[in-house]
Structures are given as structure tokens and as C-alpha cells.
């Protein structure tokens, strides 16, 4: 699974990395500070494609709350249970099936954290995992817009997201059995494109991996109130 990650790159760098115009970066993204300990229910940055003024797609960088709230949900609190979606079942689950058809996104991350459990002592040790080439991860994600049914104006809506996970690559399976789906650059365009069908989208989730390095880090990361570059210092 993925329950914590670091998102520290500048908006300009992300715009260049993911091929979008800086004018298509939302104001909230520009004002957001680096976060070394992103946790569920926080606002996170997502890359998506939406219709532009002339109807053609434009790529944008926006904020969404981590923890997907399906459009049919009566209470947005359900999102705290929807931070991850399994690649193996994402198209079949009512909570995610609509989003995987129409609202796919990329969630950038500089690193993510996973906890190794010692089988003998059950002690948990946090590890940081990041790309060896220094580029950001492009996690496969989904997003939704939830409309507050009590709002008659139609202006009270919430944008939320989820990270898709898969079985861990052999390089990481010794730490945890699951990992986020790491989309390689050659898959970004088709993952985001509105005309990509479900079968093609699901195929993009398979065998997509970027070489990673992993290292033990301080237990400071266990507490969501701790945030700073020291969280990524190797022990």
C-alpha cells in the first residue's frame, strides 16, 4: 500500500516534468509548501487532463484531498478508507469503477515511505523509497468530484483522489508486499487521455516500474505532525 509520501518539488519543476504550461497550475498549488510527510486527508498535487475553453484537452496541476470520495457517497468521511485502490480490482469496485473510466490522474511524489515488519519481533522499521534517477514518481491515480447534496447552489464540491497499488516489484518485495503503480513516462499520455478505454488503461498498470533505491529512515515519520527534510535522511 501507500500511506505516506514526500512531495517537495517546485510547481515549476513539476510543470516541466509533466509537460504542462505554468499557466495551467492552480493557484493553490503555487502557494503550497513542500511536504516531506504527506498523509491521508491532506491536500495533494495531481496532474490531470480536462477540457479547455475550445473543448480540446489541457493538462493541469491541481490540488485534491487524498482519500477518494465516490460521487454517490452520502458522507465524505468515507474518503479516509479510500486512499488506495488495488490495480487488480479497481475496475470492478463501485467506489472506483467510474473514476477509472473517466477521471484518471498522475500523483507526483519525490519518495514514499513503507514499513518493514520484522517477522520475529514484529518491530516495524520505516523505509524511504525513491527513483534512482532523481526524477519524481508518477503514481497512477484516480480522482472524483463529490457534490454536497445539501448545497442547493451546486458550488459546494470536493475533489478527492486515490493512489493505485499493485504487487511489489522484486526489488521492493522484501520491504512490503504492495507498492504504488509507478507509471513510466511512455505511459503518461495514454493514462491521462479521455479516449483511453478501460482495458487499455488497466493494461498500462501492469509491469510499469522505475528503478528505485530504498533505505531505512527515522521513526519520526511515524508521526504525521513531523515534517522536514530530515525525514529523508538515511540511517
Catalytic sites, residue numbers: 2, 114
In contact, 222 and 203? CB cutoff 8 Å: no
Contacts of 44 (CB under 8 A, 6+ apart): 7, 38, 63, 64, 65, 66, 107, 161
Residue with cell 475496475: 91
Q: Which three cell numbers stand for residue 20?
A: 504542462
What distances in angstroms separate CA 31 from CA 10, 25, 27, one per listed residue? 10, 11, 6
3 DSSP assignment: -
In contact, 39 and 4? CB cutoff 8 Å: yes
Burial of 63 (0-12, 13-18, 19+ CB in 10 A): middle
Residue 221: phi, psi to the nearest 5? -65, -20
Give Cα 15 to chain centroid, integer Å. Answer: 16
Amino acid at each position: 500500500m501507500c500511506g505516506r509520501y514526500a512531495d517537495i518539488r517546485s510547481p515549476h519543476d513539476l510543470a516541466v516534468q509533466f509537460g504542462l504550461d505554468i499557466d495551467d497550475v492552480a493557484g493553490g498549488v503555487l502557494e503550497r509548501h513542500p511536504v516531506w510527510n504527506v498523509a491521508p486527508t491532506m491536500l495533494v498535487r495531481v496532474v490531470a487532463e480536462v477540457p479547455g475553453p475550445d473543448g480540446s484537452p489541457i493538462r493541469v496541476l491541481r490540488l485534491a484531498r487524498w482519500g477518494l470520495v465516490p460521487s454517490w457517497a452520502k458522507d465524505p468521511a468515507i474518503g479516509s478508507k479510500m486512499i488506495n485502490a488495488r490495480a487488480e480490482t479497481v475496475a470492478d469496485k463501485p467506489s472506483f469503477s467510474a473514476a477509472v473510466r473517466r477521471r484518471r490522474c498522475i500523483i507526483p511524489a519525490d519518495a514514499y515511505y513503507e514499513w518493514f515488519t520484522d517477522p520475529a519481533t514484529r518491530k516495524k522499521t520505516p523505509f524511504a523509497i525513491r527513483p534512482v534517477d532523481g526524477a519524481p514518481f508518477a503514481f497512477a491515480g484516480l480522482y472524483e468530484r463529490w457534490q454536497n447534496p445539501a448545497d442547493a447552489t451546486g458550488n459546494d464540491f470536493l475533489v478527492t483522489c486515490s493512489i493505485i497499488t499493485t504487487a511489489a516489484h522484486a526489488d521492493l518485495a522484501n520491504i512490503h508486499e504492495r507498492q504504488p503503480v509507478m507509471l513510466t513516462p511512455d505511459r503518461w499520455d495514454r493514462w491521462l487521455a479521455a479516449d483511453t478505454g478501460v482495458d487499455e488503461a488497466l493494461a498500462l498498470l501492469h509491469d510499469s516500474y522505475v528503478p528505485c533505491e530504498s533505505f531505512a529512515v527515522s521513526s519520526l515519520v511515524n508521526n504525521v505532525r513531523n515534517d522536514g527534510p530530515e525525514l529523508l535522511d538515511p540511517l
